[in-house]
Structure 1
Amino acid sequence: LYLEEAGLLSEMEQLGFGIVGYACTTCNGMSGALDPVIQQEIIDRDLYATAVLSGNRNFDGRIHPYAKQAFLASPPLVVAYAIAGTIRFDIEKDVLGTDKDGKPVTLKDIWPSDEEIDAIVAKAVKPEQFSQVYIPMFDLGAVEKSVSPLYDWRPQTTYIRRPPYWEGALAGERTMKGMRPLAVLGDNITTDHLSPSNAIQASSAAGEYCAKMGLPEEDFNSYATHRGDHLTAQRATFANPKLLNEMCLDENGNVKQGSLARIEPEGKESRMWEAIETYMERKQPLIIVAGADYGQGSSRDWAAKGVRLAGVEAIMAEGFERIHRTNLVGMGVLPLEFKAGETRKTYAIDGTETFDVEGDISPRAELTVIIHRTNGETVKVPMTCRLDTAAEVHVYKAGGVLQRFAQDFLEGNA
């Protein structure tokens, strides 16, 4: 509407910038598919394709699985780079193209002044545009009085399902014994590695599930839109195609890229979801071992929910992003931090081991992780409990924030 009022939409469409969606479309990688010919060219030649976007997320593979890198820019710069057709380009100095007389055009020639922008905003953005859309949304008088306030849960859906937070792994006791690694990871693992938010690919575990539920591929949508259905969202756990799980190596000893895991004790490599399903069926408690800055990036509840529902009881890392650490505690997952100067490599952790956690849990207590190797050797690792406050300990011991709320509610009404 703003673009129409400003008289810009038709010209934007001529440049290829048609409106395909609103709100989180770009940030969630839902701007649409590449031309099949272009996509096949990228695959055949293994091209290092990039994206320039005016959203707020540039995680690996988020904008499109074949865009290996993304750069954030303002909307006018996105248009300028599109005209240029390359990022190997000095946007301030190089020529974007030529005008109708053949004269070179640079960015400064087409960049609007603040006064021009202010005048267009004043003309095109009006209060009534908001009231026409939002006032009817809050008209409670339009709601039928006979409608039940309770939601009618439907089994055949991939968007909203009765949540499982009182059942399964979350209802069981955390033993902290015999935990097997689901993944051994390096530094800078983001919430997008843990639970991606981009478009669901047909070949992914979530895509196969959506197809089984009868959804056509064009309606798969994104992982983020399905987070109300745990059966879809669980299949996003570690589903990022850029994941590097150090448990999965090629014949040269290099870490393979992809949503991969290795099921132990068999040593069988599989897709991550198949490993999670196997361990869930075995009721096998799990642990994740990682490097520095685990959980960085945008906060996402499913980055903590997914691993907990898979049966992960603890995470050993060199450090945690602040909000993600809090989310882990809220899901009843124990964050453990290596002592300064120590890492997963200090103890040559390769994923064949099992892990026990011993010690009394209290704020920032020193706990001991006992590593059991396949040759019978045991190694004791001192680690810091990253439950930083008494309130976090209370939440953790209850099993998570929902369990604590339920306990406090029942005790208050007893």
Structure 2
Amino acid sequence: MRLADNQLIALFTDLLGVDGVVLFDRLAPNLHERVVASLTPDSLPPTSVLYPQTIAELSKVITLAYEHRLRVLPCGSATKLDWGGLVSRADLVISTSKLNRVIEHCVGDLTVTVESGVKYQDLQTVLAKEGQFLAIDPPYSVEATIGGILATGSAGSLRHRYNTVRDMCLGIEFVRSDGEVAKAGGRVVKNVAGYDLMKLLTGSYGTLGIATSVTFRLYPLPEYTQIVIVTGTAETIAQAQQKISTSILTPTACDLLSATAIADLGLGEGIGLVLQFASLKASVIEQCDRIAVLAKELNLEVQILGEAKEFWELLEILIWQDELRNLEQSPESASIVCKLGILPSASVSFLKECEQIFDAQSYYLQIHTGSGLGILRVEDVQDLEVIALQISKVRSIAEAHSGFLTILESPHALKFKNNVWGYTGNANDLINKIRQQFDARGLLSPDRMF
């Protein structure tokens, strides 16, 4: 028999202390709303949010939850807690935000081991003092934690040069659904010990275990960075993209931006192709000059920006609009954010089709040309039936180009009534078998992946 709420609160207060247990109805409004948005509308609210301060405490909390069959919603600082599928029930929310130590930074080996509650921006500040950086650029970078980045597999434009979160991850320690602590990989680049659980847990949305510490490979900070933006018609941008992809140029980022994004960033008219070069100064200047020559040949407008950090910050504000997430949105101001993937060769034509679908709405689209992954943001969502039909059309186009579309953020009702993941393949049996191996009782983020 499940313990009563007051018994559960007393149980975990004895373990974590008064500061480690926050009643659900006393949460900060934005965190409260984020938790509600991650649960199905018919779900009872969790009793409380728990904040273990050590890995041992986290292990004990999960062990108690396992013994009492309590369903758990894991999170870090909750920046992406409402992404993806809705959780059918959560008795407890467990935050790793207080597991925030940098365990070991091996400067000579270009590796770092951190607890999962370390914030991305804080880690980059520490690494920069030694002339190094972690080569991922996730959304909500100010508050995002390492555990949340790993759980959602959220990388950005830098994946063009450095690949994904999975490729950065060398080792992991995590707490299983029964409270046992498990490890995989190691703290050196060439370590191949054990099963490659790092790749399995990356992007698992907290359904297979709760990461406690992660080891990443690092890279030296580049000497010099510049951004080149070329704008023009879809046809000429497609030609430029093709020529760049088969050239000897080595951009660290290469993104397509919709004409709406280019206009709102004040960068001109037409579709945009954004290239970032980061290396030795002479190499960067030469490659930017080559892009300028190519742009002139194709009759494209070209701009060279020296302030790369400022550009990416402005683009993040435009695409993700973090400040709006902490405000209660009216139906007239609701927005939808989707992650999508297509064949890179179809990215420009896909962008043109989206222009037709959202011709009467405010929207922004960013596609990483190397991987075909992208982000679609649609604003001023009023009629959920209309937007559901539009999203279905975009998903169909993506699937026709061997891709997908996943709803990350949206009004609650849209997720509850529609297929969030859009997956119709034949791997569900395999996913269920993996889940059974890691969480036979279905206690961690139940039903989130379905």
Band of TM-score, shorter chain: under 0.3
TM-score, normalised to structure 2, is 0.24
Higher strand share: 2
Higher helix share: 2
The structure, 1 or 2, with the larger RCO (C-alpha pairs under 8 Å, 6+ apart) is 2
TM-score, normalised to structure 1, is 0.25
